[in-house]
Structure 1
Amino acid sequence: MPENIKKALEEQIKQLEYELTTELPAEIKRAVALGDLSENAEYHSAKQRQEFVNARLGQLKKRMGELAMVNLENIPRDKVGFGSTVVVYEEAKDAETTYKLVTSEEADVLKGLISTTSPIGRGLLGKEVGDEATVVTPTGKRLMEIKKLWTIHDGTPEV
């Protein structure tokens, strides 16, 4: 798992756990002291936030577990996969575009960082130099030809 992603997830988990164990109990206690719980907006709001924080904590911990199981040695050395930098040519645009496939937490389309779970990421996965990929995006189908490829094993390319 990329270290920056691990740290970001750990920080989010730490903040949410603090909120769940310290801030929300105090908020609920204050709301209970106000009286009648059936019409107590503060109480209901705090309880809803508590449910949300619990659910979000579960999601983040599950994601940490999923990312911890990623074995970089299983990523192909000659095909597009997680961590790959790919130069594609789109005839419709008559232009080359460079993408790097990253986790959903790192994705930033404006910087060319696309998630492996995005339409373009999924369309490029498993392709080799010279292959064409038909990618279905919300704006329609896009035909991309793989021109250059650097996998996670090659290091960062000079593009």
Structure 2
Amino acid sequence: MTEKEVFLTPEGLEKLEMELEEAKVVKRKEVADRIKQALAFGDISENAEYDQAKNEQAKLEERIAKLEAMLRNAVIIDDDEISTDIVSIGSRVTVLDLEFNEELEYTIVGSAEADPFEGKISNESPMGKALLGRKVGDTVNVQAPDGTIKYKIKAIMR
């Protein structure tokens, strides 16, 4: 199975690298210390602290493997290559919600960096998919749980 590309901004790459470093250097040691401490309690067959620490270790190792895979398959979005003519990954897009006459701004990012609370939406989200490849003035329809929402693209920026 081939791993899929992970689109990242330079900031997103740095964030993932820092998380990986923290997980490998700091958190691994903390978990190892908890396991060692739990083993000191004696019999591990009925040792809840040991079981909890081992579960935490498994989750940590899974996250480390996931981060390493994402970094291995990272495609860095270069600001200089982002077009302001059409929406692409890395674009900042101002749209007008045609129903509520409200302007919204989104940055299209890869799924690893998506954070709707910061206005960063995934290229794989319904909104991201609808906007990709479109131009200023285009109207897009986005499927939402409540039905279809229409947006008009007002501006595309880097």
TM-score in terms of structure 2 length: 0.78
1:112 and 2:119 correspond: yes
Match of 1:141 in 2: 148
Q: Which residues of 2 match residues 6-155 of structure 1 at below 5 A?
A: 6-19=13-26, 21-67=28-74, 69-70=75-76, 72=78, 78-104=85-111, 106-150=113-157, 152=158
Task: Compare 51-60 and 105-114 and name the one that shifted more.
Answer: 105-114
Secondary structure (helix, strand or coil) at the match of 1:26 reads helix
Q: Which runs of 5+ in 2 are unaligned?
A: 1-7
Alpha-carbon distance between aligned partners in 2 of 1:95 and 1:127, rounded to the nearest angstrom: 19
Contact 1:83 1:100 in 2 (8 A): yes
Q: Provide, for residues 28-73 of structure 1, a one-character-per-residue CA deviation record: whole Å limited to 9, x for no partner.
A: 1221221221110011011000100000111111222232x34648
Q: Which of the two has greater helix per residue?
A: 1
In structure 2, the residue corresponding to 1:128 is in which secondary structure? Answer: coil
Q: Secondary structure at the match of 1:130?
A: coil
Q: What residue identity is the alignment partner of 1:125? A: L
Of 11-20 and 44-53, more deviation after overlay is shown by 11-20
Q: CA deviation at 1:14?
A: 1.3
SS at match of 2:34: helix
Task: Count matched residues.
Answer: 150
SS of the counterpart of 2:61? helix
Q: With CA pairs under 8 Å and 6+ residues apart, which has the higher RCO, 1 or 2?
A: 2
TM-score normalized by the length of structure 1: 0.78
Distance 1:40 1:110 in 2: 41
Gaps of 5+ in 1: 153-159
Whether the 8 Å CA contact 1:20–1:54 is kept in 2: the answer is: no
Q: Distance in 1 between matches of 2:28 and 2:118?
A: 37
Residue pair 1:85, 1:101 contacting (<8 A) in 2 also: yes
Identity %: 34
Can you list the C-alpha shifts for 1:76-119, whole angstroms capped at 9, x where unaligned?
55321112122222221123322222344554434433232332
Aligned-residue RMSD, C-alpha: 2.5
Q: Give SS of 2:45's match.
A: helix
C-alpha distance in 2 between matches for 1:143 and 1:35: 63
